Each structure stands twice: as C-alpha cells, then as structure tokens.
Amino acid sequence: MRSLLTRSELTIDENRVLRAVCLMSGLAVVVSASYNFVLPPMLTGLGATPAQGSMLRTIPSIGSLLVIFPAGILGIRLGPRRLLGLAGVSVAVGSLLVAAAPAVFVATVGMLLLSVGRSALFVIVIAMLTTATTRDGARPVAFSAYAMVSPIIYVGIPLLSGLLLSVAPWRSVAVLWAVSGLGIVAVAVLLVRDGSERDSLPGELWTPALAGLTLTCVVRLLQGLYDDGGMSVGVVVWGASAVLALVVLAVLLRRLPEPSLSLHPLRGGGLVLLLLVVVLIPFSNMWYYATLGLEYVYGKSVLVTAALLAIPQVASVFAASGAKRLMKAKGVTMAGTLLLLATSATLFLSCIQSVRLPLVVALLVLCLYSAAVTAAGVPLSVSIVSLADEGEEGSIASLRGAAGSLGGALGVIFMSFVVSVGIGSSSPDADDLVKGIRNGELTHDPAPRFDVPQGDLEVLDDRGMQAMVNGYRAHGLAGGIVTLGAAGVFFSNRRNHPKV
C-alpha cells in the first residue's frame, strides 16, 4: 500500500457510502445490543413454555442463515437501495409484530422477519463498501470506521435497554427496534444510490438458496450434535437435509451454464485460508464468559455489568480507529499478524484470573482483548474484500458472513467443551454448572459480539466461583492457542497472496 488516506481525503461518493453503511449497520446492531435484555421478560409475558422459548430462539437464527447467500445475489440484481429498503421494512414489520404479539407464535414470526432483514443488510453493506473503496488506501480507512460501529452502539444501548425495561414494558424495546428499521429505510432512500448498470440481471436463485440451506443445516447439525450429546432425530434430519442440499447444489453448479452462485473467488486458495481465519476468530470470544464472571464471581447486577462492559467497548472504538495507522506503518500483512498475535496474548493473560483478582485488573485484560480483536478484524476484512473482482462483491460478502456464522457455531461447541473440562470436578455441582453455562451460550442470538446474558444460574458458593474461574482460564488458554494458529494462517496466506 503506497499511502493511507484519511476520512477527510475520501471522495464525496466514498464518504456518502461510508456514512450510509455505518448508519444502517448501527441501527441494525441496536437489535442485538438489546436482545438479551428483552428476551426473558418477553418469554414470561407471553407465557412461553420451554419448547416455545426454544422455538423463539432457534427459528430467527435459521432465517438469518438462510438469507446470507441470496442476499449477496439480490443486492446486485435488485440494486442495494431497494434491497436495503426491503431489509429495513422487514426489520420494522418484524419488530412491530413482536411489539404487538399476543402469543409466542406471532413473536416468533416477527423475530424471523427481523433476523432475515438484519442478515441481508450486513451482507449488502459489506458489498457496498467493497465496491465504493477501490482506490489505493481507501479500504483501510473505510473498514476501520466500519469496525467502530458495533462497539459504539454497545457502549450505551445495553444499559439504555435495561433502564428502559425497568420503567416500561418489554414491548417498548420492540418499538425501539421498529424505529431502527424505519431509520434503515430512510438512510437507504436518502444516501444509497443503486448501481443501475447491474439492476435486473437475469439468473436463477436456486443455487444461492441451496447454499443458504446447506449452511443452515450444517450449523444446526453441529449444534444438535453437542446439545443432544450425540445422535437424535433432529440431528439425523439436519444431517440428511445438509447432504441432500449439498448434492443438489453441486449438481446445479455443474449443469447450469451460468449459475448465480459463483465459487470463482474460492479458486487459488487465497480466500479459503482467509475465511478459515474468520472461522477461527469466534473461538476466542471472551465476552460471554466474562459477563458471566462479572455477574456470578464479582456479584454485579445485569445493569452494572452492562455499564462495566462499556469500558472495554470504548477501547474497541479507539483500537478500530488506530488500525488504519498500523496498516500504514506496517502494511496489511504485518498489521493483521501483529494484531492477531496481540489478541492471542490477551487471551493468555486471562489465565491470571482468580476469584480474588481485583475487578480493575480483570477489566483491564478485557479491554486489551477487546481492543486487539476489534482492530485485528480491520486488516482481515480488507484482505478478504480485496480479493473480490468486479461483480463478485456480493459473493465475497456472503462467503465472509457464512464463515463467521460457521465459526460462531463451532466456537460455541468447542469452547463449551473446553470450559466444561476446565471446570472439571472443582465443584460438587459441576455438572449443573456446565449445563447452565452451555444452555445459556447455545441459546443466544449468534449475532451479538458483546452478550450481556440473563443467565439462569443460581448464586454460586466459593467452590462454584472457583469452578467458573477455572473454566474461564481454560477458555482463555484454548482461545489463545487457536488465535495463535489463526495468526500463522493469516501471515502465510498474505505472504503468498499479497493483493494489497
């Protein structure tokens, strides 16, 4: 990279796209930032049975996975403004259904529409940002700014949601989601321009739909295998569906002269290895267990936990802003490698955690982790989108989203096992503790990066707290090793495929 631009040096069009992408993404993140607060009172208010609660948690995530690949194609075919407008409408309508839901089924349909709209939005904004920033030095600036959006929202929205629910019914948060959806529509209309030269392109939707179905079945299969402890009817159904969808997809890709789903970006291996890094990054996710520790080891309420987590999220904002400067000084390859190594080091630091460790030290470790992992995502994103040829931006964005979803599922399964091993027999109630942690982790919306769980665990005694600390240490050690491997993969890949 010969030079690095600043945001003031971006062109008018580049800045317009960046503003639109950041605004719409921020509005979409409002949902995930408040979801964990509204879910428990929603289930209670609707009188949901355990089975209905499981359905409400599961179906929206299925919808978000199904739409990942079709969104990349439709963004090109319909134009980004129209698809983003439809995504905003889906979020708004789904949120209003949740707000007015008389029963769990209606709320589930609302969450499904909401999740589909958000998933499509995140795919298309990445494609937009990729298309708009082709000048040398523009992408690091744009993706650095984009990386700041999520932590900025999480600085205040979780606490605001908790305070709102303390004085208003849970449906008020769903109304806030609806306002966010309407805001997405407004931004799409006012700031997004369609690429008319690509509108209304002919082509089929079977291949992207089947790719989304395959991804969904694989993720649900993996979760089912762990959750059910082995084979079950659900596992068999998801496994058979995954095989069938994959076979049909392979046949169509071979027989159709010009399939809509393009696998061309995967040729050469460069993108495959970068997507592997995307898959591995969620393995290091400290947020869920850190928030459990704040609640059950340090004895903080959910609202105080949300306020404390604003501190590392502020660190994330500054780190994302500084990532572009590191890329200018060291280049994309070295910057990404150094930041992944820093992430690994902060994970190893979690091994110093103890029941009596001062809270300020534990927060400092979380701040260092938050800053490193957020900044590391910038050169990784720049590396991935830089492999997109003209017309393949949507496919690249879909593949990136699919890798993140797969990594999230694998990370939860692997790390839940690691934590259970770490807890071991250090508590007489270890089995119940592991089960409580696992169920809380597996039932959360996979979209949030900074969960504030409303866990069902009872107050822990000294041995229970020590067991949780042991699990946290095991998580940090395993996450550090995995991230260290991810750094090696990234460095090796960038040395062999230095496109930027």
Q: What is the dihedral of CA 184, 185, 188, 189, to 10 degrees?
A: -150
Select from 123, 135, 126 the least CA-distant residue to 18: 126
pLDDT of residue 197 exceeding 50, the answer is: no
Residue type, 62: I
DSSP 425: T
Select from 168, 160, 167, 222 the least CA-distant residue to 409: 222
Average pLDDT over residues 134-154: 90
pLDDT of residue 308 exceeding 80, the answer is: yes
78 vs 20: CA distance, rounded Å? 18
355 vs 337: CA distance, rounded Å? 33
Select from 403, 433, 401 the least CA-distant residue to 419: 433
* Gyration radius of the chain's alpha carbons: 22
Count Cβ atoms within 10 A of the Cβ of residue 426 and give its class: 0-12 exposed, 13-18 middle, 19 or more buried. Answer: middle
* The pLDDT of residue 456: 47
Confidence band of 317 (pLDDT split at 50, 70, 90): very high
Q: Which of 195-209, 287-301, 310-324, 348-362 has the lowest mean pLDDT?
A: 195-209
* The pLDDT of residue 101: 93
Quickly list DSSP for 73-120: HHHHHH-HHHHHHHHHHHHHHHHHHHHH-SSHHHHHHHHHHHHHHHHH
Average pLDDT over residues 303-317: 92
* Final residue belonging to a domain, choices 225, 259, 293: 259
Helix residue spans in 168-203 (DSSP H): 171-191
Same domain, 181 and 217: no
Looking at per-residue confidence, does 76 or 478 come out higher? 478
pLDDT of residue 458 exceeding 50, the answer is: yes
Average pLDDT over residues 105-134: 92
Task: Considering only the C-alpha atoms of the chain, give the largest distance between any 2 of them, rounded to a whole number of Å.
Answer: 66
* The pLDDT of residue 108: 92
Same domain, 336 and 400: yes
Confidence band of 202 (pLDDT split at 50, 70, 90): low
Looking at per-residue confidence, does 262 or 183 come out higher? 183
Select from 332, 279, 278, 377 the least CA-distant residue to 495: 332
Same domain, 411 and 491: yes
Same domain, 196 and 210: no
pLDDT of residue 176 exceeding 50, the answer is: yes
* CA count, 13 A, side-chain hemisphere, 112: 13
Same domain, 39 and 122: yes
* The pLDDT of residue 433: 56
Residue type, 196: S
Spell out the residues 6+ positions from residue 75 whose beta carbon is closer than 8 angstroms to its own. 83, 120, 123, 124, 127, 128, 394, 397
Q: Which of 158-167, 194-203, 298-307, 335-344 has the lowest mean pLDDT?
A: 194-203
Same domain, 464 and 427: yes
Span 366-387, pLDDT tens digits: 999 999 999 999 999 999 998 8
* The pLDDT of residue 64: 86
Same domain, 80 and 167: yes
Q: What is the dihedral of CA 333, 337, 338, 339, to 10 degrees?
A: 110
Same domain, 68 and 42: yes
Span 56-82, pLDDT tens digits: 878 888 888 899 999 988 887 888 899
* CA count, 13 A, side-chain hemisphere, 126: 28
**CATH code, domain with 279:** 1.20.1250.20
* The pLDDT of residue 7: 52
Average pLDDT over residues 217-230: 79
* The pLDDT of residue 446: 37
457 contacts 436 by C-beta, under 8 angstroms: yes
Span 258-292, pLDDT tens digits: 888 877 778 766 888 899 999 999 888 888 888 88
Range of the domain at 494: 264-500
* The pLDDT of residue 201: 52
Looking at per-residue confidence, does 230 or 300 come out higher? 300
* The pLDDT of residue 53: 82
Confidence band of 196 (pLDDT split at 50, 70, 90): very low
Determine the 3-state secondary structure of 461 from DSSP: coil
Distances (CA, A) of 319 to 61, 147, 333: 30, 9, 17
Count Cβ atoms within 10 A of the Cβ of residue 343 and give its class: 0-12 exposed, 13-18 middle, 19 or more buried. Answer: buried
Three-state helix/strand/coil letters over 356-388: CCCHHHHHHHHHHHHHHHHHHHHHHHHHHHCCC
* The pLDDT of residue 75: 83
Spell out the residues 6+ positions from residue 35 whose beta carbon is closer than 8 angstroms to its own. 445, 448
- For 274, the token pair is 């970068």
* Final residue belonging to a domain, choices 153, 170, 200: 200
Sign of CA dihedral 484, 485, 487, 488: positive
pLDDT of residue 120 exceeding 70, the answer is: yes
pLDDT of residue 453 exceeding 70, the answer is: no
Q: How many domains does the chain have?
A: 3
150 vs 127: CA distance, rounded Å? 18
* The pLDDT of residue 143: 93
Outline where DSSP puts E strands in 76-148: none
The listed range with the strongest mean pLDDT (43-52, 214-223, 243-252, 424-433) is: 243-252
Same domain, 286 and 364: yes
Confidence band of 148 (pLDDT split at 50, 70, 90): very high
Span 249-266, pLDDT tens digits: 999 988 888 888 877 778
Distance, CA of 50 to chain centre: 26
pLDDT of residue 50 exceeding 70, the answer is: yes
259 vs 402: CA distance, rounded Å? 19
Per the prediction, the chain carries an average pLDDT of 84
Residue type, 417: F
Looking at per-residue confidence, does 451 or 134 come out higher? 134
Looking at per-residue confidence, does 303 or 7 come out higher? 303
* The pLDDT of residue 266: 80
Average pLDDT over residues 139-166: 91
pLDDT of residue 6 exceeding 80, the answer is: no
189 contacts 231 by C-beta, under 8 angstroms: no
Q: What is the dihedral of CA 153, 79, 116, 172, to 10 degrees?
A: 50
Residue type, 280: L
Average pLDDT over residues 352-371: 94
Same domain, 247 and 374: no
Same domain, 84 and 220: no
291 contacts 305 by C-beta, under 8 angstroms: yes
Q: Which of 31-45, 139-153, 479-493 has the lowest mean pLDDT?
A: 31-45
* The pLDDT of residue 123: 93
Helix, strand, coil content of the chain in percent (nearest 5): 80, 0, 20
Same domain, 395 and 278: yes
Distance, CA of 433 to chain centre: 26
